[in-house]
Amino acid sequence: MEKNVDGQEIELKSIMQLEDQAHRDFQLGAWYGNELAEKMVTATNPMAKLCGEIVSNAMRKEIEGYGT
């Protein structure tokens, strides 16, 4: 455990843990009717991110293939 500036102990989390926590918080906000939270649920969806990365990599490889 680390300590913050006030001397309180805090738990350090990985980026993945923070992203998952943020996604859950946005889901809760969307459930309560917050429009911004509804948009952020989609933006922070881990499956959508993975799909976007796969498509981007495939397109990059395809474009690089035309240059040779």
In this prediction, residue 68 has a pLDDT band, given cuts at 50, 70 and 90, of low
Q: What is the pLDDT of residues 16-56, one digit of tens each?
A: 888 889 999 999 999 999 999 999 998 888 888 888 889 99
4 φ, ψ (degrees, to nearest 5): -85, -175
Cα angle, residue 51 at apex, residues 31 and 45 outer, rounded to 5°: 20
Residue 4 confidence (pLDDT): 66
Cα angle, residue 43 at apex, residues 38 and 47 outer, rounded to 5°: 115
Q: What is the pTM of this model?
A: 0.57
Q: What is the pLDDT of residues 5-14, one digit of tens each?
A: 777 777 778 8
**Domain ranges for the chain:** 21-68
